[in-house]
Structure 1
Amino acid sequence: MSTLSPSRPTPLAPTGDPVPVELAVVDGISEGYPPETFLTVNVHRPDGGVKLYYAWTAGGKPLGDRIDQLAVASGLDAADWLHIGDRQKDVFHRGRIKVEAYALRPILADVQGGERSPEQRRAGLHRVVAAAAESPRQRPPKSHLAWLGFGPALVQLRP
């Protein structure tokens, strides 16, 4: 019979805090993806809330930051980010978890190749932002809808 030593903490001991378990799940999910992948992991909680985690596989952080530098220097914006991301995104659900995986090499190729959002989609995004600005509960939108980022330098600035 084995017993735990009192001086050794029990991994993932029950605390009522779901974050350590969620982080372990995100790490496990990340291990299933190839290098140079950016992941957004949405964990839908039983209380109706959602916790969003960002993760990068090996080489993903520097490549994501490089993509962002090129995109911003090229004048790409949020509409372009949505369009390019949708072209390269793989989505799957596992129970209450939604994962969006972005292969960064093809995104880099799109940014370098001058891929842009169709004007109809860009106009639609501007209409949505303008409507949100009219709501008294919303803060005024930025005059320019900036590129949202695939690397940690920009992604971690998101609200």
Structure 2
Amino acid sequence: MPASDVLAHPSHTEHPTGPSEINLAVLDSITSMHRPEMFLWINRRRPDGSVKIWYAWTEGGEPLGNRVDELALTRGLDAADWLHIADLHQRTSVRGHFETWAYPLRPVLAEVQGTERAPESRRDGLRRLLVKAGEVTGTSPRTTAPRWLGFGPHLVLHK
């Protein structure tokens, strides 16, 4: 399935009409290189140092990602668990200015169904980060991890 059929991106775009034709061609090519049931987080490094992010799912990835997320939320998994499980399965590739983080969703589902959770050291690190962010921004620090971040379009695109 071409990326242009399933490609999603945050509210900011390069042009009012969305990604350029050149970017769409590159994104289609990147998506076609991955097997079914994958969630792709595609970063394009810009000359000014910023990063443009797109999300894509290969064939079967959208419903499977949503299933992973429903189960994770039902089981009470949070952002610390998401970071840990994502790190276990992330495959990184680079093509020019594009860096792709690919997540095979079957193994991610197995982790969510099983007992894999973030270790306490990772939870403590996330708590320290949230406290520091509160100090820097002058807001009340968050003492618990945010909710599961998502592997499916329902959570990823509708935060």
Structure 2: runs of 5+ lacking an equivalent: 1-13
> Aligned AA for 2:154?
A
Structure-2 residue corresponding to 1:100: 101
Deviations 1:42-83 (A, max 9, x none): 001123221000000000000000000000000000010011
Q: Equivalent residue of 2:40, what SS?
A: strand
**Once superposed, which parts of structure 1, at least 4 consecutive aligned residues long, lie more than 2 Å away?**
16-19, 136-144
RMSD: 2.0
The residue that corresponds to 1:126 in the other structure is 127
**Which runs of 5 or more structure 1 residues have no equivalent in the other structure?**
1-15
Could you give the per-residue CA deviations for residues 23-58 of structure 1, whole angstroms, max 9, x where no partner exists? 221111000000000000000112322100000000
What code does the residue aligned with 1:25 have?
A: V
Cα deviation for residue 94 of structure 1 reads 1.6
Secondary structure, aligned partner of 2:137: coil
Shift of 1:157: 2.6
Q: Say which structure is richer in helix.
A: 2
Q: Is the 8 A contact 1:22 1:43 kept in 2?
A: no
Q: Which moved more, 1:19-28 or 1:63-72?
A: 19-28
Equivalent AA in structure 1 for residue 74 of structure 2? A
Amino acid at match of 1:134: E
Q: Does 1:147 align with 2:158?
A: no
The size of the alignment, in residue pairs, is 143
Partner of 2:83: 82
TM-score by structure 1 length?
A: 0.82
Q: Supply the AA of the counterpart residue of 2:24.
A: L
* Maintained 8 Å contact 1:41/1:54: yes
Contact 2:91 2:103 in 1 (8 A): yes
Per the normalisation by structure 2, the TM-score is 0.82
Which SS does the other structure have where 1:19 is aligned?
coil
- TM superposition shift of 1:22: 1.7
Residue pair 2:80, 2:145 contacting (<8 A) in 1 also:
no
